[in-house]
Amino acid sequence: MKTETKILIGVLISCLVLVLGAVFFLGRSENGGNLGNTQTLNIDYSKGEKIGSDSAKVKLVEFSDLQCPACKAAEPIVKQVVEKNKDNSFQFIYRHFPLTQHIHSRKAANFVEYAQTQGKFWEVHDKLFETQDSWSTLSDPSDYFVNLGAQFGLDKDKIKEAISKGEFDQKINDDLAEGNRVGVDATPTFYMNGKKLNLQNFTDLKLAIAEELKK
């Protein structure tokens, strides 16, 4: 394949990811266009992978699928929000919500949960989104995950075991159950201080958090 063709394909894939993300958020505007529902849900903040203090004034929970193109499209904004609000007033919590149509998402979730046991959750989480286009189209991404994990010093055999045995399925299922309980119907879905955000675009996430921090 010529270099020019490879570049063109890469550009087209990137555009598709952005379009999918935009469609996802624009579709949610049909719910009324408000940034947050008035109903406050009882979310268990003790679960999930966290950045920030447990005593934070604003808690943002994301239910996400590592194979979801819309989640990948939202990721740059999520990272900007987390980076901008690195203080005791804000906490970000990541929860799993692997969709059945994404056949590798549960393997990816088991992989990143093994990485968490070695203190490498966020490094692997970020890399899985970065390389999503490469592994999501494979018939079985297990070997890809093993080699990716080795880049972060993770044990290859333990990665294989975690994926093949579904060692973290219970934790993933707990996240799914929580998501279903609070009304997750797509990924990514965000909850801020217990209220589901109905985002029309990525910028709305920044706006919602800024407004909540001002209260």
pTM value is 0.83
Rounded percentage of the chain residues whose pLDDT exceeds 90? 77
Q: Give me the pLDDT at residue 8, please.
A: 47
Q: What is the CB neighbour count within 10 angstroms for residue 196?
A: 23
* Cis upstream peptide for 188 (omega within 30°): yes
Total number of domains in the chain:
1
Q: Measured in Å, how far apart are the chain's first and last C-alpha atoms?
A: 55
Task: Give 124's contacts (C-beta < 8 A, 6+ positions apart).
Answer: 111, 112, 115, 148, 149, 152, 154
CATH number for the domain including 67? 3.40.30.10
Kind of pairing between the strands at 49-52 and 195-196: unpaired
How far lies 180's CA from each of 13, 66, 112, in Å? 31, 18, 21
pLDDT at 23: 44
Domain ranges, residue 64: 3-214
Q: In the predicted model, is pLDDT for residue 113 greater than 50? A: yes
Q: What mean pLDDT comes out for the span 73-90?
A: 93
Residues 154-167 pLDDT 10s? 999 999 999 999 99
The CA distance from 174 to 161, in Å, is 21
pLDDT at 28: 45
The C-alpha atoms of residue 105 and residue 171 are separated, in whole angstroms, by: 14
